[in-house]
Structure 1
Amino acid sequence: MSIARRVVDERPRIATAPEARALVEGVLEALSALSHLVGEETELVRAGRLPEALTREPRKTELAGLYMRGVEQVKLNAVALARFVPDQVQRLKAAHLSFQGLIETNQIVLATARAVSESIVRDLAADANRPTKAAGYGPTATVGAGAFARPNSGPLMVSRRL
């Protein structure tokens, strides 16, 4: 069991400086692992490797839960932490601010990927459903009853694995 998990699960109240240090270190460990994973996911999505990025989701969920439980413990023990390890509290705040920046970048990359994929699907649907007017003679000419016919493009196939 990792230090972060042991500290978060077993110690609800901080009474000593070593306990305070262990709690903050455990939360920092969870945050570091989560930051690394979110950074990997961001780069994979940016590179268009979506299936590979999605494989990180279960671990990301686990680490996010661990981090959030740690933050709750930090909040419950804020007074003790400020008294025993004020320097570590500042370190945790700085790491959290850095993580927020990483999350903002991740959200921008995900939103961009979503917008691009929606645009591609919308354009494909518009092209597949656009009627074409048969060429005739003159600007308003039509040919028989089938003046509006589909192009000879064949069926549209979409891969759900993207």
Structure 2
Amino acid sequence: MNQRPQAQPAAVTARAISSPVEARKLAEDLMDVMSGLLGIIERETELVRAGKIREAMELEGQKGELSRRYMVAVEHLKNSQKYLAQVSPELLTTLRRHHDTFRAMLQINLTVLATAHAVSEGIVRGVNVEIQRRNIPNTYTASGQRATPGPRNMTPLAVSRSL
């Protein structure tokens, strides 16, 4: 939705955890980030469903920051997965269950966004067809057939992508 260039954060290499306290902290951080991101995504979904696209776009900054934190936490988890599987398999199972719920909610959000995109694209295409129809002259050839309009009769539709 946005044409602004995104700043690329510096790569963060997360070292593997080495204690049960670090494992618990990692799990809590990941769950907090997923919960925060789910809250933003649910709000965005509600706003898009209500047609309040401008308000939904205002959540972009928060969503971006939480997404960045989520990616860092997942990378840390990947680096620590062997240790977690050995020391705390129940914690790993809990994280997987929470992540499955997280993915399901993301899928709902993506479906709503795709629907909004398809609807808006359909509206723009419909407006373009109507503009073209009005700009094409109704002329006929000598044999009484409808004349095919030339390219000079087609007027392009200009759309501003900023709201």
Q: Taking structure 2 as the reference length, what is the TM-score of the superposition?
A: 0.73
Query: What one-letter code is carried by the residue in structure 2 that aligns with 1:43?
Result: E
2:84 counterpart residue number: 81
Asked if residue 47 in structure 1 is aligned to residue 47 in structure 2, the reply is no
**Is the CA contact 1:21–1:85 (under 8 Å) kept in the aligned structure 2?**
no
Deviations, residues 37-71 of structure 1 (Å, cap 9, x unaligned): 11111111111100000011111111111011111
1:118 counterpart residue number: 121
Q: Percent identity?
A: 39
Task: Map 1:70-109 onto structure 2 (within 5 A).
Answer: 70-109=73-112
**Is the CA contact 1:34–1:60 (under 8 Å) kept in the aligned structure 2?**
yes
Q: Residue 25 and residue 127 in structure 1: after superposition, are their counterparts in 2 closer, same or farther (change >3 A)?
A: same
Asked if residue 22 in structure 1 is aligned to residue 6 in structure 2, the reply is no
Paired with 1:36 and 1:101, the residues of 2 have a C-alpha distance of 14
Q: Residue 10 and residue 114 in structure 1: after superposition, are their counterparts in 2 closer, same or farther (change >3 A)?
A: closer
CA shift, 1:85, in A, is: 2.4
Q: Structure 1 stretches (4+) deviating beyond 6 angstroms?
A: 156-159
Gaps of 5+ in 2: 1-11, 145-156
Q: Taking structure 1 as the reference length, what is the TM-score of the superposition?
A: 0.73
Across the aligned residues of Structure 1 and Structure 2, the Cα RMSD in angstroms comes to: 2.7
Aligned pairs, number = 137
Paired with 1:14 and 1:157, the residues of 2 have a C-alpha distance of 54
Which of 49, 55, 63 is the aligned partner of 2:66?
63
Query: What one-letter code is carried by the residue in structure 1 that aligns with 2:44?
Result: E
Gaps of 5+ in 1: 1-8, 135-139, 141-155
Paired with 1:125 and 1:27, the residues of 2 have a C-alpha distance of 46
